[in-house]
Amino acid sequence: MDNPFKNLFKKVENSVIGLDIGSSAIKVVQLRKKHGKAILETYGEVALGPYAGVSVGQATNLPPNKIAEAVVDLIREANVTSKNAALSIPLRSSLVSLIELPKVDERELKQMIPLEARKYIPVPISEVTMDWWIIPKEDDRYLDFVQSGDSQGEREKKEKIEVLVVSIHNEIIGHFNQIVRDCGLSASFFEIEMFSAIRALVDQSNAPVMIFDMGAAATKLYVAERGVIRSSHIINKGGQDITLSIAQGMSLPVDRAEQLKRDIASQDQAVQKNIRDIVSLTVDYIFSEAGNVMLNYQKRYNRSISKVFITGGGAAFSGLADLAKKAFQTDIVVGEPFEKVETPAFLSEVLKVTGLDFTVAVGLALRKLQEID
């Protein structure tokens, strides 16, 4: 890990870190607040493959003590000085459900939600930690009554509310608490990665947007409207599958295939075409699944997705944005999470490339900064 900040910054107050623990790498971003602005102090990434005895870029399933070992190494190499941390929990380790309930007062709602959530949670409620939010309605969220002229169907529709319910198994939370203790950190919250990604990439907008977050082992899709999650989906293929396709198709070691995937733009036209032909089945499958998610959302809510944000370390495959534009037929935005952070000018071009890896870490740190007065 080449860290340009190693001798540039000294320890300061009001610093926080966002720690994104993925399947193939751990990313950290350290920010501080100055005059109401978020200032980048340092950032870094460590691959988990070597800790699991596999190649860089491959997905792993490490126990908490090995993850803590990698975090400690990353903190040292990235010259992280803050202990005030926020950590991401992978979407695959959580359960997110959007349920519809009658419009009742808050006391009744607190009783109803655990009962309704049992339909969606495959383990006893006592084994999970659960939270929920009411999704505000755009047109009638301030109405406390229904006009007498409405039909029965319209009254029923207006008297329903949507509630976003999230649950995380207590064992997962225990693992993350162990990591925090082993690393000597202080973490005030853990956050499911999709909320961090949306915070880093999306501004408040009435039009629905989709986040296309390609990790190593999976591609996560989130649809947000007015900054609120409306839908989420996991496709069990990601950047690792693209890398393995290149390795197999070109008879290359996995680490060399990973490098080639990221540097494809520097290859001659014949090599580029060969690589794209090799990975076409994997990429086409991912976009087909993502297109179905988009279509289902648009049919259910009768609202079109206005743009798609491309992010995640797996999205470093050159030309992915062009392929996405053809697949989705809408505006495609390559995510730049560091746009919300003040950074050194000499890093601006570098961060446009590496930013895809740090979306969740930036989103975590931005929320953590809100705790500072």
* Closest among 197, 233, 258 to 59, alpha carbons compared: 258
* Closest among 322, 310, 233, 230 to 276, alpha carbons compared: 322
Residue 353 located in a structural domain: yes
Residue 192 located in a structural domain: no
CATH of the domain at 59: 3.30.420
Do 225 and 330 lie in a common domain?
yes
Do 294 and 369 lie in a common domain?
no
- Residue-wise pLDDT for 70-102, tens only, equals 999 999 999 999 999 999 999 999 999 888 899
Q: Can you tell me the distance from the alpha carbon of 124 to that of 6, in angstroms, rounded to the nearest whole number?
A: 47
Do 311 and 342 lie in a common domain?
no
Q: Find the range with the poorest average confidence among 6-20, 111-125, 219-233, 321-335.
A: 6-20
CATH of the domain at 231: 3.30.420.40
Q: Can you tell me the distance from the alpha carbon of 217 to that of 288, in angstroms, rounded to the nearest whole number?
A: 17
- Residue-wise pLDDT for 216-236, tens only, equals 999 999 999 888 888 899 999
Residues β-bridged to residue 97:
165
Do 329 and 353 lie in a common domain?
no
The tokens for 77 are 């190499």
Q: Can you tell me the distance from the alpha carbon of 190 to that of 85, in angstroms, rounded to the nearest whole number?
A: 9
- Residue-wise pLDDT for 306-333, tens only, equals 999 999 988 877 778 888 888 888 999 9
**Residue 8 pLDDT more than 70?**
no
Residue 315 located in a structural domain: yes
For tokens 């029965």, name the residue: 152
Residue 315's domain comprises: 204-334
- Residue-wise pLDDT for 351-366, tens only, equals 987 888 999 999 999 9
Mean of pLDDT values over 188-195: 95
Do 208 and 328 lie in a common domain?
yes
Which residues, including other chains, have CB under 8 Å from residue 345's CB and lie 6 or more apart? Answer: none
Ramachandran angles phi, psi of 348, nearest 5° = -60, -45
Better-predicted residue by pLDDT, 161 or 26: 26
Do 153 and 265 lie in a common domain?
no
Domains held by the chain: number: 3
Q: What distances in angstroms separate CA 136 from CA 195, 206, 211, 265, one per listed residue?
A: 17, 12, 21, 44
Residues β-bridged to residue 219:
214, 235
* pLDDT at residue number 13: 57
Do 273 and 158 lie in a common domain?
no
Mean of pLDDT values over 200-204: 87
Q: What is the pTM of this model?
A: 0.87
